[in-house]
Amino acid sequence: MKSNIAYRELLDSAPFANTQPKTGYCINTDAEKTNSFQNLFMLLSLIFSYPDDQIYQEILSTQYTTRELFQIYNRSAPDLLRQEELQAEYISLFVNNYTGIPLIPYASWHLDPDGRITGNTLDRIQNIILEQGYQIKDSNSEPEDHISIVLELCSRILQFTAFSESAPEKKTKANQDFSWLVETCLGPMLQDMQEKIANLACSDFYPLFILLSRDFISDVQALSDLTCTEKNIAGN
């Protein structure tokens, strides 16, 4: 029976309030499946990163995978723009725009609604990064709750949710962190973004990827049982 919870404790626990700790994900029943999902997360992470030369090259070379992914969701893949065009669109959607960017890519903005891009959400993501054995590269200047970093983090953590080598506590923690990132950070962020794309004056590259990501994250959320029983996967 909870009691004596003060206002600040209530607020600080808000980004964590809706998390039900999961025991595991269907994804990690074998290495191959884990690997696939890792790749998919990483792909999306690259899509949501500024398309500099390296990233654009990688996006170019993974076009086949991208098309496959869109097919799985019964959508046609968007055409890849020229690099300069893609850069301009990325900036106008996610970096700077007159009167403000329409798609704010920081989890804490969506979860800690106080008009700032830092908050308890960012704290937790920073802690997860450290606890899972990573740190942010010096070349990066975005806060760690940027959607591309959250997606990359999900990709990395998946390996620890795999059944093979992790110790049980490590696996449990990885499951918990992964589920929090997916359900509490990515889900709402992509939902918010999806609601804004209707009125955007841009090509359909990023809007289609947002829709795709939204669906993909929903699917990942559905896969939340270690034994991967029928109740998570519909017949057919």
Partner 1 sequence: MKSQYAMIIDSSKCIDCKACLAACKQVNDLPEDHWRNWIKYSEQDPQSAETHLVHFQPGGCMQCNTPTCVEACPTRATYKDERDGTVKIDYGLCIGCGSCIPACPYGARYRNPITRKVDKCDFCDFWRNNFGLEPACVSTCPTKARIFGDIHDPKTRAYQVLRENSDRVVRLSNPQTETKPNMFYLKNTAPKDWPKPARTPDPIKAMLCCLTPGLQGILGASILGALVMWGKQIFTRSEEEQDDRESE
Partner 2 sequence: MNNSNKISRRRFLALAGSGLASAGIGGHLGNLKARAEDTLPTSDNSTQEPGNKDKLESRFSFCNICPNKCGLIARVQNNRVVRLDPNPEHSKSRGMICARGNAGIQQLYDPDRLKYPLLRKGKRGEGKWQRLSWEEALDLAAKKFRDIADKYTRCGWWFTWGADAQAHFVHRFANVFGSYHIANHESLCFWTRNRGFLDVFGEGPPYPDVLNSKYIIMIGANRFESLITPDSIDLMTAIQQGSKLVVLDPRRTKTAARAHEWFPVKPGTDMAFILALMQVIIKERLYDPEVIHKETTGFNDLEKHVRSYTPEWAARETGIPARDIRRIAREMAKAAPAAMVYPGRRSSTYTNSTEIWRSFAILNGLLGNFDRPGGLLARQDLSLHEAKSYLAPWYEDNPKERADAHKAPLMFEDGAMQTMRDAVINEDPYPVKGLFAYHTNPMQAMPNREKTRRMLENMEFVISVDIKMSDTAWMSDLVLPAPSALERRDPASVKQAGSAGACVYTRDPVVPPLFDSKSVFEILQGLAKRLDLGKFFDFGLEEYREEQLKGMPEVKKALREKGVYNHNGSLYGLYKDKPLRTSSGKIELSSARYKDKGLDPIPVYERPQEVPQNSFRLVVGRNACYTNSNTQNNWLLLQFVPNNPLWINPGAAKKLGIRDGDQIKVSSSVSHVLTVAKVTQDIREDTVCMWSGFGNISDGLTLVGHKGGSVAELLEDHIDTLNGNAALHETFVTVKQA
100 makes contact with partner 1 (CB under 8 A): no
Between 18 and 54, name the residue whose CB sits nearer to partner 1.
Answer: 18
Between 17 and 167, name the residue whose CB sits nearer to partner 1.
Answer: 17
Between 100 and 115, name the residue whose CB sits nearer to partner 1.
Answer: 115
**Applying CB under 8 A, which part among 113-121, 150-158, 160-168, 207-215 lies near partner 1?**
113-121
Residue 233 site contact among partner 2, partner 1, none (CB < 5 to 8 Å, cut-off depends on kind): partner 2
For 69, half-sphere exposure in the C-beta direction (CA atoms, 13 angstrom radius) is 24
183 makes contact with partner 1 (CB under 8 A): no
Q: Which helix (H) or strand (E) holds 152?
A: helix 147-161
Residues 82, 98, 99, 114: which binds partner 1 (CB under 8 A)? Answer: 114
11 makes contact with partner 1 (CB under 8 A): yes
The residues near 188 (Cβ < 8 Å, ≥ 6 apart) are: 110, 111
113 makes contact with partner 1 (CB under 8 A): yes
Residue type, position 214, single letter: R
Residue 58 site contact among partner 2, partner 1, none (CB < 5 to 8 Å, cut-off depends on kind): partner 2
Between 81 and 189, name the residue whose CB sits nearer to partner 1.
Answer: 189
Could you count the other beta carbons within 10 Å of the beta carbon of residue 17? 8
Residue 42 site contact among partner 2, partner 1, none (CB < 5 to 8 Å, cut-off depends on kind): partner 2
Task: Let me know if 229 is exposed, middle or buried by CB neighbors in 10 A (0-12, 13-18, 19+).
Answer: exposed
Residues 61, 64, 99, 115: which binds partner 1 (CB under 8 A)? Answer: 115
Residue 72 site contact among partner 2, partner 1, none (CB < 5 to 8 Å, cut-off depends on kind): partner 2
The residues near 217 (Cβ < 8 Å, ≥ 6 apart) are: 182, 186, 187, 190
Task: Tell me the backbone φ, ψ of residue 5, rounded to 5 degrees.
Answer: -95, 120
Asked if 48 and 148 count as a contact pair (C-beta separation under 8 A), the reply is: yes
Collapsing DSSP states into helix, strand and coil, what is residue 146?
Answer: strand
- Find the binding residues for partner 1 in span 145-174 (CB under 8 A): none
Residue whose pair of structure tokens reads 């962020």 in the numeric block: 189
